[in-house]
Amino acid sequence: MNIQQFRHTIQHFVDDDPGYLRWLTRHPASFVLNTTRIPSAAYLMLHRANCWTITKLQPRATTFTGDYSKLCGDRDELEARARRLGGTAQACGHCLRSA
């Protein structure tokens, strides 16, 4: 395994806000697929890693990685993951307006 392959492996953060926030700062140009705690087609929202909706806790939230978990990686691989889950990655209306 080389560094290139490692860099392009999707990371999944559950109950790990420190790990998630560290990943965000290291991969500002990557993407985050916000999904249910156990990833499923029920909720798949794709964001840029610098989107405010996934980098700042929402008013009633206490964690980023509790009821919802985060799949982090490149856009292509996250969209492929969403398809394997039987769904489609929805583009966030804030950071990824559909063209």
70 binds Zn ion, rule: CB under 5 A = no
Least distance between Zn ion and beta carbon 94 (Å)? 4
Q: How many CA atoms lie within 13 A of 31 on its CB side?
A: 22
Size of site (CB under 5 A) for Zn ion: 6
Residue 30: closest CA among 8, 12, 13, 4: 8
x-or-dash string of contact with Zn ion, 19-48, rule CB under 5 A: ----------------------------x-
In sign, the C-alpha dihedral spanning 36, 37, 39, 42 is: negative
Applying CB under 5 A, the residues found at the interface with Zn ion are: 47, 51, 53, 92, 94-95
